[in-house]
Amino acid sequence: MSEYRYQFKRYKSPSDRVTCPSCDHKRTFTPYIDTVTGELLPTEYGKCERRNNCGYELNPYQDGYAKMIWQQERGERPTDWKPKPIVRQPTPPPPKPVFIPNEVMQASLKAYHQNNFVKYLQTVFDASDVEQVTAHYQIGTSNRWEGSTVFWYIDLNANVRAGQVKCFDETGHTIKDVLADGETKSRTTWVHSLLQRKQPAPVWLTDYLNQENKVGCLFGEHLLKSEPAKVVCVVEAPKTAMIASLYFPNFIWLAVGALTYLTADRCKALEGRKVILWPDLNGYNLWKERADKLSAGRWKVSDFLEQVATDEERKSGLDLADYLPRFHYKDFQLGFPHQWNDPAPMGYVPKLAEHTAQSLELSAETIGPPMTENDLIKLWSG
């Protein structure tokens, strides 16, 4: 056992490390502890573990602190010791983000006749509308899997932040492969992961991979600048955003990418906008909690799916993209399905229509102009 009274505090958990007094990085500073009293020494004594970026260290035996305490405890007159001022490290500027070159995205904007997701959309929507929404969201085609799609994440300033690659089947659902252990893995990856396999790798890729935050924006975020007055609707999946945009063209539809990706960093472009969140089934409570924190309660969260879902649908975690194709999308451009009393269109589900009509207490005669923000909230919040 060490004979030294003042020792570094033993590291058992992240909380044992504290904020460095020099560089202000959290949980990087190992403080000294007085083994006799069990108390920590003043905050300046210890060392920063960021040796290359900070390197701050102050030893109580080297600057006279230990001797001064020893003299005080013996009743002797203390020396003229004075604490050394902390030399603070200048805060380095934040690293510049590295983006995927625009030409990489542009090279993927083709071969839509081979793109399974685009082909699925053509079975639900008119070809001209599919062409428009594909161009709107800058959808690409990948050769990672036959027929796979690239959802490009483009930020508010038109920078290409990331590209998610997915492979869908003819019904618009992500294909899953069965692994050797019986588990399944969806055919989903990222463009930067695919480029790592190329030899030689692109010169920009190393810097791109070394940054902590590669995505940092919403899918479809680039659409916000051109439509500053429109209400923004946020869903989980890019696929859902695109499908919903064809049903409700009076709104901007964006996606976060996954349930837990609703974060302050990804949603910073929504500041000052009117926002409605549309979580998938079983995600309402989490998004309601996060919406309250991110917007101080200003954002609305739709619980429509939670209200109408069957037990089986709840187990599957279905989303808006599973419900909307049950209706003919052009009916929604007038507000909502207007054929309540007429023969139902193909794929029409009376149970869903009944719920919607009752919640609005409207009849076919009262349906008017294109849907407003309040109409949408009423329609899908019940």
DSSP readout, 116-137? HHHHHHHHHS-HHHHHHHHHHT
Q: How far apart are CA 37 and CA 60, in angstroms?
A: 15
Same domain membership, residue 227 and residue 372: yes
Quick check: is 80 in a domain?
A: no
Quick check: is 89 in a domain?
A: no
Q: Please name which of 332, 249, 250, 323 lies closest in space to residue 280, comparing C-alpha atoms.
A: 323
Query: Which SS3 state, helix, strand or coil, does residue 18 take?
Result: strand
Quick check: is 86 in a domain?
A: no
Same domain membership, residue 37 and residue 132: no
Q: Where are the strands (E) in the chain, listed by range?
A: 6-8, 29-34, 46-48, 57-58, 139-142, 148-154, 160-166, 176-178, 184-186, 188-190, 232-235, 252-255, 275-277, 300-301
Same domain membership, residue 205 and residue 164: yes
Q: What is the pLDDT of residue 223?
A: 97
Q: How far apart are CA 240 and CA 174, in angstroms?
A: 12
Neighbouring C-beta atoms of residue 108, cutoff 10 Å? 20
Residue that is last in its domain, among 216, 248, 266:
216
DSSP state of 219: B
Q: Which two tokens stand for residue 341?
A: 């009393």
Determine contact, residues 254/219, Cβ cutoff 8 Å.
Answer: yes
Same domain membership, residue 111 and residue 45: no
Q: Count of alpha carbons within 13 Å of 255, Cβ hemisphere only?
A: 22
Q: Please name which of 238, 377, 251 lies closest in space to residue 319, comparing C-alpha atoms.
A: 238
Determine contact, residues 310/286, Cβ cutoff 8 Å.
Answer: no
**At 239, which CATH number?**
3.40.50
Same domain membership, residue 203 and residue 314: no
Amino acid at 368: G
Q: What is the pLDDT of residue 359?
A: 35
Same domain membership, residue 160 and residue 124: yes
pLDDT in tens, the chain (382 residues): 568 899 999 888 777 789 999 988 888 999 999 999 999 999 999 999 888 888 899 999 988 899 988 888 888 876 677 877 887 877 777 788 999 999 999 999 999 999 999 999 999 999 999 999 999 999 999 999 999 999 999 999 999 999 999 999 999 999 999 988 888 999 999 999 999 998 898 999 999 999 988 999 999 999 999 999 899 999 999 999 999 999 888 899 999 999 999 999 999 999 999 999 999 998 999 999 999 999 998 999 988 888 888 888 888 888 899 988 888 888 765 454 444 334 434 444 433 344 343 333 333 333 334 445 555 555 444 4
Same domain membership, residue 379 and residue 233: yes
Q: What is the pLDDT of residue 343?
A: 40
Quick check: is 185 in a domain?
A: yes
Read off the pLDDT of residues 318-355 as tens digits, 9 standing for 90 and up: 889 998 888 888 876 545 444 433 443 444 443 334 43
- pTM flag (> 0.95): no
Same domain membership, residue 224 and residue 161: no
Same domain membership, residue 234 and residue 201: no
Quick check: is 11 in a domain?
A: yes
Residue that is last in its domain, among 200, 216, 232:
216
- Work out how many domains the chain is built from and give that number: 3
Read off the pLDDT of residues 1-28 as tens digits, 9 standing for 90 and up: 568 899 999 888 777 789 999 988 888 9
Q: How far apart are CA 44 and CA 55, in angstroms?
A: 13
Same domain membership, residue 344 and residue 320: yes
Q: What is the pLDDT of residue 378?
A: 53
Quick check: is 26 in a domain?
A: yes
Amino acid at 304: F
Residue that is last in its domain, among 156, 184, 216:
216
Quick check: is 223 in a domain?
A: yes
Q: Which two tokens stand for residue 323?
A: 């419900």
Q: Domain residues for 44?
A: 6-73
Sequential DSSP letters for 150-203: EEEEE-TTS-EEEEEEE-B-TTS-B-EEEPTTS-EEESEEEHHHHHTTSSSPPT
Query: Which SS3 state, helix, strand or coil, does residue 367 take?
Result: coil
Pairing of strands 275-277, 232-235: parallel
Same domain membership, residue 118 and residue 167: yes
Q: How far apart are CA 230 and CA 255, in angstroms?
A: 16
Same domain membership, residue 187 and residue 143: yes
Quick check: is 267 in a domain?
A: yes
Q: How far apart are CA 20 and CA 38, in angstroms?
A: 21
Neighbouring C-beta atoms of residue 117, cutoff 10 Å? 26
Residues whose CB falls within 8 Å of the CB of residue 126, separated by 6 or more in sequence, listed in order: none
Q: Which two tokens stand for residue 58?
A: 């102050």
Determine contact, residues 339/315, Cβ cutoff 8 Å.
Answer: no
End-to-end Cα distance, the chain: 69
